[in-house]
Structure formats: structure tokens, C-alpha cells
Structure 1
Amino acid sequence: MIVAVVPCTDRTLWDEHVDRFQGHPQQLWGWGQTKAAHGWSVDRVLLVAGGTTVGCAQLLIRRLPFPFKALVYIPRGPMCSAADAPAVLDSLAAHAATRHGGVALSIEPDWDADSDFAGAVAAAGFRKTENTVLIPRTLILDLGRTDDELMADMSKSTRANIRKSMRSEVEFRKVASADELEQVLAIYHETAERAGFGIHEDQYYRDIFANLGEGSPIIAAFDGSRVLAFVWLARSGATAFELYGGVSVEGQKQRVNYGVKWAALQAMRADGCSRYDFNGLLNDGISDFKKQFAKHENLLLGTWDKPLSPLYPAYAKAMPLARRGLQGARRAVKAAAGRVRPAAARLLKR
């Protein structure tokens, strides 16, 4: 099957295709729009065979120091059937090489590790890598289940904390104003400092809220006009994906972080989503909290690279640093470039 790569420049058409393929919210137009304002460029393409669109992918491109040129990355994509995946991946890799000069095409699909897609990815010449951005070990809930069925998979104490917070005077609803958003950001700073993780500058989060619109709901616990806790999501037609969460000290005491998580599940079901992804599990306190909401875990396919340049081995060594933001990694990438044989560098210039 010959698959043509066709650019898409229409937001409405693009998001319709994402939902048609039951795509992930990080493939929505607004997500790419935000990344484009913060160091990446975006290329949205439809994959067409015989007049039929068989897939689509939002490519994020990050320029790298000479001689590596660029990283081309597809978060939670591409979108296509397992049968069409080999041809779609071949065409995307060729496009990434010729259009963007990529040293590699890196993909982190929203596909299960034990699905038919695994063989298709390997057959297309991709290699499994541990240079991961989005964590493949996660927890995904089926929102088609009833409340009782969802609660049955939770611990007894989790159910009790949810019911206690839902009976309180706290109101659970979507954030609707700029002032409420600023309260959310203040709590996120507080949570990050308490838990010891890094965050972006505030404008990044404001851009997500503005660019995704209804595709990025924030469910918050309110005591009057004060925000006590929140769950910030991105959602497509099928999938709700947790981006961020936080709780104030007062909110922790009242256990409203349990209630706001339950309210987020309810809200995403009401919005029509069929699956709810908690966005990664690590061996930390935040993950321990997430795991209270189900007895199972999910494993997605992980991170796969298609080498597009003879410089890929040197690039791959520098990538663990580059994935942390690329600024500090620029020195490491340049050092790796200095160790590349001149002949390989000449090949890249052709």
C-alpha cells in the first residue's frame, strides 16, 4: 500500500480526524499550538491511500545543534489501524527525514504493549528506547463502567475519603475564569515545592488553558471562591488524560484531593470520554495515590525511535539529557557531535 503524506492546515478538520481515529488529546490542534509557542514547531499530516485517509499524526519538531539538525517526535501517536501501521510508519519516517532532516523519528503511541501494533512498529524499523517522555506504565479506567463498578476496584479507605469529601460543603466544578486559573497555578507551585518536582513557567499553563479551550478542563474543589485542589486534564472525544494536579495543605486535611479526582472521572464521563488515563505511574507518593483508584495497571507500547541518520548512535547517547528540556543538553549534544567521525558528518550534509 502506497501512503501519501498530506499536510492539514484546517483546525476543525484536524480535530475531527483525531476523534475519528479515537486519538489522544496530545494530538489535538491546541496541544500542538501550545508546543509551537514554547520551542517546538508543528507539522500536522494526514496519511492517504487510494483517496482514503488511513491515519494522521501531529509531529513536533525540535531543532538540535549541528550536525544533528532536528528531533521529530509524535506524542501518543500516530493514529491508524494496526493493519495500516507499517505503511503509515514508513511514510512518516520518510517525511521526517526529507521534510525536517530528522536524526530520528521518535514515537510514543497510545497503543497497548501487547497489541498487534507492537509487531508493526518493529517491522517498520523502529527500535525500543528508554529515552522516554511519556511514561508507558499507567492506569487507564473504563468510563463505561458504573460508579459502583469503579468504586469496587478502590480500597475501602479511598471510597470512604471520596464519600466524606463529597458530603462536605466543598463544591466540585470546572474552573471557569482567569482568576480561578491563577489560584490553580498557585496551588500547583505549592504542590511542586512540597513534592519536589519541576514545573514549567506559568505562561505555558495559561497557553494550554487558552489554546485547548474545552479540550483542557480543570476540575477543582472550591470552598466558596477559594480553590483547595484541582485535576487538570486534556481530553479528546474518547480519552481524558491527566496533565497536572495539586492540593493545598488545607485541602489535604479535608481529603478533598480524593473528591476532586472522583469529580474529574464523573465530569469526563459526562463529556463523552470512554477512557480516563492517569498519565504515568512511577515509584513515588503521587503514583501511590493514583493506584488507590484501581486494582490494575496498564502498559502502553513505550518509546520507539526510527534512526534517520548515521549520527543516530551519538544522538541517542545525548538524548537522556535532551529530553529534560534540551537547554542543558545542548552542551552534551555538541560534545557528542565532536566525537562523530567526519565521514558521517559529511553524509548528513548531503
Structure 2
Amino acid sequence: MIPAVVPCTDRALWDDHVDRFQGHPQQLWGWGETKAMHGWSVDRVLVNDGGTTIGCAQLLVRRLPLPFRALVYIPRGPMCEPEHAQAVLNRLAEHAAVRHRGVALSIEPDWDQDSVYAGAVASAGFRPSANTVLIPRTLILDLTKSDDELMADMSKSTRANIRKAMRSDVEFRKVKNDAELEQVLAIYHETAERAGFGIHEDQYYRDIFRNMGDGSPVIGAFDGEQLLAFVWLARSGSTAFELYGGVSAEGQKQRVNYGVKWAALQSMREDGCRRYDFNGLLNDGISDFKKQFAKHENMLLGTWEKPLSPLYPAYAQAMPLARRGLQTARRVLKVAAGRVRPLIQRVRPGS
């Protein structure tokens, strides 16, 4: 019998399936709900073989200019057991072609590069792609380890900075409300300008905070009511995934970014997570900071695409050029925003 692809429209049932398959938090209902508010459409489907669900995936669909029609993307999915991977991928690709008329199905699974899943992906007709969204080179910590075991893998200076921060008067706790969230966003803007990376509009982050609820905790370092640093996560039943982080100038002086990272690790373990993913390693200062927390690195399977249209070769050639153009536009806008913001502050009443 050929497995059937059926929609899932029940939030509780969907999130139960994500946890049953030990899925990634970017497959949770609330993450898809947020993406649907910001340019994507969402299709959540179960792959059923008889009366058994053997896999599932939250598909994000982005409309493309004609003649390409649509890109179908599965972030950190699909979810299934290794023995069902090829069948699940085949059915999802057929669904993406028929239901969404996609030019390609792009997947970035939460599977290790050297796992048994790799062969199934290739056998299902997928090919490696450079159109990467989620960086496969990362750092994943095993939260079943004790504090002593986790610290043993850290650098000596990192352990010292953590202990100093935890002995200070700074309080490490979850962000509670919208007013504290606005402090998070202010520090994130400050951090992005200092480090030179682009960010979304503020409403995008507010929507994540609202739509994911307990599934997207923000761990903050507070000096009284003043936020000094934060780590923003998404979490499923098994996996905690860093989304964003930031530290103020004062927080840097006090090195509370070490303490807030440690507090995030402990908080996610208390919430029942077994894996903590630092969300990508590049050759930059932020990644150098992440690498102080362990001696190893992890490599996930990466980005794979299955062509669904004769137009795929043209799409594959055009996509990198379009992305580079978008990145250039964002850099120009960032520079312009940096020039305009001081002018606004000068004329703002009470500033």
C-alpha cells in the first residue's frame, strides 16, 4: 500500500506528533503560525501507512515569480524513523509537486551528516544544494550530562566567567511579559549594529513570542529591572534551539553573556530537553564565543533539494543571484537606518 499524505489541522495533535518523533522546534505549530504571518503559507501533513503515522512535516510554501510558481521548504524536517525515510520523502515530494506546484522541495533535516538517513535522502532523488538557510555546522550539547560533565568540555576561562556571573547579584530568569520583551528587542538592535548582522522587523519577534508561548522561552540576565543580556530559544520536547542572543554594553563589561548562556542550558534541561543546539557555526566572533562551551562540533546533513519541475535548472541558477541581491539590499538599508536613527533621537520629544 502506498502511504497517504493527509492534512493535520489540530494544533495539539500536531505538536504531539512533533514530540513523538522527537522533532525540532521549527516544526512546531507556533513556528509555522509565525511564518504564515510573514510571507509564507503553511501546510502540515501526516504520512500514514494504513492506520499508522510513519512521518510528518510542516511545509513552508513561498510563492515565486512566474514561471517558477513556488518553493516548498521543510526546516529541520521531515520527521520519521530511518526505515521509513525514503517512503516519507517520496510522498512529500509528490505532494509538494501536485498540491503546491513547487519548482523544488528543499529540506534541511535535523539529521546528522553521517547518519543512516543520508542514504535515504539521496535514494529519494534529492541532491545537495548551496541555497542554505539553516547552517549545518553547529554545536549540540547533550543535556543528559551533569553540570560537571558539561563544564569539563568548556575552556578554563569560560568556566571562570560562568562562576563569576552566577555569584553576582544578577538574576537569571525567563522573560515574563511584553514590557521585558521590548528590552530584549532594544538589546538585539544594539547587538546587531555592533556585530554587523541583519535582523527582522520587531513585529516578527513579537509574533514568535506570542505564537509559540512556552515553546519559545527567553532567558534574561537582569540587574534589578534592567535587562543586560538574553538568549532566546525555541524548544520542543527533546530539543532546545537557539534563535537569537544579545548583550548590552554594560552586560559585556560584567561578562553576563556567559552566565545567561549557562542559565539557558540549565533551564532547558529543567524543561525536559535532551539536546541543546547553538544554531550554526560560522567563522566569526559570535561563533568563537559559542565554541568556548564545548570542544567538539556537529555537522548536520545540510540542505538538499528535489527538482519538481523542468524549470529547476533555471531556478537553481537564479536563486543564489537573487539571494545575493537581497543581502546587498539589506546591507544598504542597515547603513541607512544607522544614519537615520540618531537624527530621530535628536528630534524625539523628551530625548
Please indicate the TM-score interval, normalised by the length of the shorter structure: over 0.9
| CA distance, structure 1, for counterparts of residue 79 and residue 246 of structure 2 | 31
| CA distance, structure 2, for counterparts of residue 197 and residue 98 of structure 1 | 38
| CA distance, structure 1, for counterparts of residue 4 and residue 259 of structure 2 | 48
Give the ranges of 4+ consecutive aligned residues of structure 1 lying more than 4 Å apart after TM superposition. 321-329
Structure 2 counterpart of 1:182: 182
Is contact 1:105-1:305 (8 Å) kept? yes
Structure 1 residue 83 corresponds to structure 2 residue 94? no
Q: Structure 1, residues 286-330: CA drift from partner, whole Å, max 9, x if none? A: 00000000000000000000000011011011222455797999x
Structure 1 counterpart of 2:216: 216
In structure 2, stretches of 5+ residues that fail to align are: 330-351
Sort the Cα spacing of 1:249 and 1:180 in 2 relative to 1 into closer, same or farther, 3 A.
same
Which runs of structure 2 are paired with 1:125-164 in the superposition (5 Å)?
125-164=125-164
Structure 1 counterpart of 2:269: 269
Structure 2 counterpart of 1:7: 7
Sort the Cα spacing of 1:29 and 1:323 in 2 relative to 1 into closer, same or farther, 3 A.
farther
- Aligned residue pairs: how many? 329
TM-score, structure 2 normalization: 0.92
Structure 2 counterpart of 1:254: 254
Q: Which amino acid aligns with 2:291?
A: K
Q: Which amino acid aligns with 1:129?
A: S
Is contact 1:322-1:328 (8 Å) kept? no
Is contact 1:133-1:323 (8 Å) kept? no
Structure 1 counterpart of 2:60: 60
Cα-Cα RMSD: 1.3
Structure 2 counterpart of 1:229: 229
| CA distance, structure 1, for counterparts of residue 40 and residue 325 of structure 2 | 11
Sort the Cα spacing of 1:206 and 1:130 in 2 relative to 1 into closer, same or farther, 3 A.
same
In structure 1, stretches of 5+ residues that fail to align are: 330-350
Sort the Cα spacing of 1:211 and 1:50 in 2 relative to 1 into closer, same or farther, 3 A.
same
By how many angstroms is 1:17 displaced?
Answer: 0.2
Structure 1 counterpart of 2:309: 309
Q: Secondary structure at the match of 1:66?
A: coil
| CA distance, structure 1, for counterparts of residue 320 and residue 286 of structure 2 | 23
| CA distance, structure 2, for counterparts of residue 173 and residue 123 of structure 1 | 46
| CA distance, structure 1, for counterparts of residue 323 and residue 87 of structure 2 | 28
Sort the Cα spacing of 1:22 and 1:322 in 2 relative to 1 into closer, same or farther, 3 A.
farther
Is contact 1:239-1:276 (8 Å) kept? yes
Q: Which amino acid aligns with 1:199?
A: I
TM-score, structure 1 normalization: 0.92
| CA distance, structure 2, for counterparts of residue 322 and residue 60 of structure 1 | 19
| CA distance, structure 2, for counterparts of residue 305 and residue 154 of structure 1 | 36
Q: Structure 1, residues 76-100: CA drift from partner, whole Å, max 9, x if none? A: 0000011100100000000000000
By how many angstroms is 1:3 displaced?
Answer: 1.2
Q: Secondary structure at the match of 1:19?
A: helix
| CA distance, structure 1, for counterparts of residue 87 and residue 217 of structure 2 | 35
Q: Which amino acid aligns with 2:195?
A: A
Q: Secondary structure at the match of 2:42?
A: strand
By how many angstroms is 1:51 displaced?
Answer: 1.1
By how many angstroms is 1:2 displaced?
Answer: 1.6
Structure 1 counterpart of 2:117: 117
Structure 2 counterpart of 1:101: 101
Structure 1 residue 197 corresponds to structure 2 residue 188? no
By how many angstroms is 1:137 displaced?
Answer: 0.2
Structure 2 counterpart of 1:20: 20
Identity %: 83
